[in-house]
Structure 1
Amino acid sequence: MISIMYPEIRAYVKQLPIGLMPIDIKADIIPKLIVKSSKELILTAKLRKEFLIYLVPYEIPGVKSVGFLAAFFDDAVHPLVTGGALIKELAGRELSKLFLSPKVDVHFFNELGWEMLAYRAEFKSTKRHRDLLRSAVLPSVKGLNQSAILTQMDSWFSATLAADDQQAIRVVFKERLMPDDVVHIDMNDENHRYHGAPLVSSSPLEREEPGAFQEREIISILHRVFSPDQIYLAPLRTYDKEEMVDVLVVTKKSVLLIQAKDGPNIERIVNNTISRKVSTSHKALKAAAGQIKGAIAYMRRAAEFVILVKGKEVKLDLSGKSVYGMAVIKELFNHEYEGYTPPLLELYAKTGVPCIPLSYGELHQHTSYIDDEDELFKAFMTIFNHGLETGVFSRLRVLPPGSIINK
């Protein structure tokens, strides 16, 4: 494991938002590629033992260059994709060179920076790829409209055909570099100071029963914005000792109710049809909306708001605080937002509490660049108000240095 041999790499990877990044290790002549992404993408890589890298030409005002998209085929038509522009200051030239290398060690990390898989891989590039990458003029990150580039690349990929697949760089795994069933155990006290925290936590790749893992990982992400004393894991109602909500955040100004909906991360689920995955996302969102509605009702049933945390009563003062709801779903699909929006707008109509849907990956992306409560809820309300005005929620792109561009 590269994160054990070179522990400083994990600290570096934790700072990366998402995507592909080359790592230079002078003691090793084989190039190293970091892939930081979701557990679903990593499991797909494990099962398929390959992925494709598409080189995508784009042109926006003042910039004509090439980007890349790495596709992992859980589904033959709608794969999991990560990528972006090749940028000078963000190791664009080094990444271009790596794509042309015949042999590369590929290391997969999840959003929290844990190394989950590693393979020595063969990169099958052609003269066309070499000519395109070596001749490309890479833009500077300064003033670059990355959102416009991503929009063009998304449009290009949505129109790809079998011929485009044949022309992509094919990455084939040849040799396993670490066990593929590793489980990370976190015993760091600093990561377990929130209310209701266990003494230790773990992060496996494959999960039959995902709920508890996802809730703790959501809290790890929330630590980027909120302090541990503001976060409550699985608080219970006092009258029946049933869970009120998965994660509760209470600050001086705000209350955030988070209901998480994950699913098993196992081969059978990866191999489900896209229609089955879409249907599952709708059911999960409706269930989350119902549970958030119940949590709001419990908050309002008495003058004092009291919850149970590890068997102890905790009284919280909610007076004057803004209340928000968030349904964090395993996977959401761009073309389904007309269906995702009505249950949450109905919840708002009945309770007055704005609520939005986010995938776990989106929550990670938002908090990678937003570390301030006010800015996070500003992004939240941008999404919600768009849905309230148009009837369809938007998906924000949150890009460095924290600018929010919705396209």
Structure 2
Amino acid sequence: MLTITHPELLGGLLKFPGGLFPIRIPGESALRLIIKCPKEWILAAKLNRGFRIYVAPLTAQGLNSCGMVSAFFDDADEPLTLWTALFDDEFTAELRELFSSDELIVHMFDEHNRELLGYSATNKDAARFGVGMGEMAFAPFSVELARDIHDKLPEWFGLRTSQDDDEAYTISFGEPLFPDDMYIQDVRPSANAYHGAKSPMHTMLEREDAGHFNELDIVHALQRIFQNDDIYLNPMRDDDGKEFVDVLVITPNTVFLVQAKDSPNTEKVLQRSLGRKMSTVVGHLKKAVDQMRGSISYARSCVPLKISTGDKDHQIDLGDRDLVGLIIVKELFNSEYSVYSPPVLGLFNETAVPCFVLDYPELHSYTVHLADEAAFISALNQVFSVGIERGEFPRLRFGLPPSA
């Protein structure tokens, strides 16, 4: 595990939001590949014993350009994907070197920099990859070009042909570098100082108990922006002993009520049909909206707010803090926002509390790219303003300027 053998090399990974991350180990001639991505992508790679690479020639900003799609097949037609813009730069040269080799080593990390899989791997079409990349046009980097490539890659992939599938490069996993069923604990005090911590922060790749691990991941993400003393995991109501919210964040200015919905991370769930996954999201969202309605009611009626975490009671005067509702689900599909938005906006119309629905990868992006509570609130306000105006929430994109 790189985490154990070369922790000093992983500093750059900590703030890397996700994707392909070539790395060179001192004393080794060949590059290794780190892939930082959500657990579903990692499980798909494990089950398929690898993943596929598509190199897409594009015209972006009027220039001959190129992008790369890394596909992790949970669905034959619409797999989980990572989008990579390619330029005339060192990063692209390193990717070309990596995938032009018959043999490579792949390490897979989740969004919290926890190393869950590692494999020796092969690319049987390495020579073809090297030749193909040599024929591609790579423009100099610019933010505008990167934005345009990222806009065009999903369209290209959605319209890909059977020939494109045939010409993709299969990265096949061989022997694992370490056991692929790791249970990882983080015993650092800084990771476990939030209210309601029952055991050290922990994770594993395959999860039957979806809610428990998902709530820990949400806490872990929120710790990037908020202080541990502001975060409460599974606070219980004082009046009936039932759960108030999944996660509560109380800052000097704002109360964030977080309701979370996830599904087990297992082979059975991952391989469900796309239609089944879409319907599951809608069902989870409906339940979360109902729960959020109850949470808002309790926050307003119980003055001061009385909750407990573990064996500790809390009595908090919320004063004139703003209430904000956050519903976090496993995944949202871009084509379905006209379905997701009305019930959440309807909850605002009922309660006058701004409420939002994000999928977990979005929450990760918000907390990686936004430095503090003020930036977090500002981003939510942008989303809310557009949602009210159009009746449908937008997705924010970080690291690149907004589309026109």
Could you say what the CA RMSD is over the residues aligned between the two structures, in angstroms?
A: 1.8
Q: Please list, as runs of the form range in 1=range in 2, the aligned pairs for 1:18-29 lying within 5 A after superposition.
A: 18-29=18-29
How far, CA to CA, are the matches of 2:150 and 2:271 in structure 1?
27
How far off is 1:200 after superposition? Answer: 1.1
| 2:304 alignment counterpart | 304
Identical aligned pairs, as a percentage?
Answer: 38
Q: Please list, as runs of the form range in 1=range in 2, the aligned pairs for 1:75-114 lying within 5 A after superposition.
A: 75-87=75-87, 91-114=91-114
Is the 1:395–1:406 contact (alpha carbons within 8 Å) kept by the matching residues of 2? Answer: no
Deviates more, 1:54-63 or 1:337-346: 54-63
How far off is 1:61 after superposition? Answer: 2.3
How far, CA to CA, are the matches of 2:217 and 2:165 in structure 1?
34
How far, CA to CA, are the matches of 1:145 and 1:94 in structure 2?
20
C-alpha spacing 1:168/1:284, structure 2 compared with 1 (3 Å):
same
How far, CA to CA, are the matches of 1:66 and 1:214 in structure 2?
36
How far, CA to CA, are the matches of 1:379 and 1:9 in structure 2?
32
How far, CA to CA, are the matches of 1:14 and 1:198 in structure 2?
26
Residues 315-336 of structure 1 show CA distances to partners (whole Å, capped at 9, x for unaligned) of 2232222221111111111111
Residues 346-397 of structure 1 show CA distances to partners (whole Å, capped at 9, x for unaligned) of 1111011111111111111121111121111111122222222112211111
Is the 1:53–1:70 contact (alpha carbons within 8 Å) kept by the matching residues of 2? Answer: yes
How far off is 1:139 after superposition? Answer: 4.4
| 2:190 alignment counterpart | 190
Is the 2:344–2:356 contact (alpha carbons within 8 Å) kept by the matching residues of 1? Answer: yes
Structure 2 residue 326 is matched with structure 1 residue 326: yes
How far, CA to CA, are the matches of 1:215 and 1:124 in structure 2?
40
Is the 1:305–1:317 contact (alpha carbons within 8 Å) kept by the matching residues of 2? Answer: yes
Is the 1:10–1:114 contact (alpha carbons within 8 Å) kept by the matching residues of 2? Answer: no
C-alpha spacing 1:124/1:383, structure 2 compared with 1 (3 Å):
farther
Residues 86-128 of structure 1 show CA distances to partners (whole Å, capped at 9, x for unaligned) of 2456722111221211111011100100110111111133666
Is the 2:120–2:176 contact (alpha carbons within 8 Å) kept by the matching residues of 1? Answer: yes
How far, CA to CA, are the matches of 1:176 and 1:184 in structure 2?
17
C-alpha spacing 1:63/1:378, structure 2 compared with 1 (3 Å):
farther
Is the 1:39–1:110 contact (alpha carbons within 8 Å) kept by the matching residues of 2? Answer: yes
Matched residue SS, 1:398: coil
| 1:348 alignment counterpart | 348
How far, CA to CA, are the matches of 1:236 and 1:255 in structure 2?
16
Question: Residue type matched to 1:247 in 2?
Answer: V
How far off is 1:278 after superposition? Answer: 0.7
Deviates more, 1:302-311 or 1:345-354: 302-311
Is the 1:235–1:245 contact (alpha carbons within 8 Å) kept by the matching residues of 2? Answer: yes
| 1:405 alignment counterpart | 402
How far, CA to CA, are the matches of 1:257 and 1:147 in structure 2?
33
Is the 2:303–2:317 contact (alpha carbons within 8 Å) kept by the matching residues of 1? Answer: no
Is the 1:18–1:365 contact (alpha carbons within 8 Å) kept by the matching residues of 2? Answer: no
Is the 2:101–2:127 contact (alpha carbons within 8 Å) kept by the matching residues of 1? Answer: no
Q: Please list, as runs of the form range in 1=range in 2, the aligned pairs for 1:10-89 lying within 5 A after superposition.
A: 10-61=10-61, 63-87=63-87
| 2:316 alignment counterpart | 316
How far, CA to CA, are the matches of 1:390 and 1:120 in structure 2?
49
Question: Residue type matched to 1:405 in 2?
Answer: P
Q: Please list, as runs of the form range in 1=range in 2, the aligned pairs for 1:125-274 lying within 5 A after superposition.
A: 125=125, 129-274=129-274
How far, CA to CA, are the matches of 1:369 and 1:90 in structure 2?
24
C-alpha spacing 1:284/1:293, structure 2 compared with 1 (3 Å):
same
Matched residue SS, 1:299: helix
Q: Which runs of 5+ in 2 are unaligned?
A: none
How far off is 1:135 after superposition? Answer: 4.5
| 1:277 alignment counterpart | 277
Is the 1:396–1:404 contact (alpha carbons within 8 Å) kept by the matching residues of 2? Answer: no
How far, CA to CA, are the matches of 1:83 and 1:252 in structure 2?
38
C-alpha spacing 1:196/1:87, structure 2 compared with 1 (3 Å):
farther
Question: Residue type matched to 1:350 in 2?
Answer: E
Question: Residue type matched to 2:402 in 1?
Answer: I
TM-score under structure 1 normalisation? 0.94
| 1:2 alignment counterpart | 2
Q: Which runs of 5+ in 1 are unaligned?
A: none
How far, CA to CA, are the matches of 1:62 and 1:159 in structure 2?
20
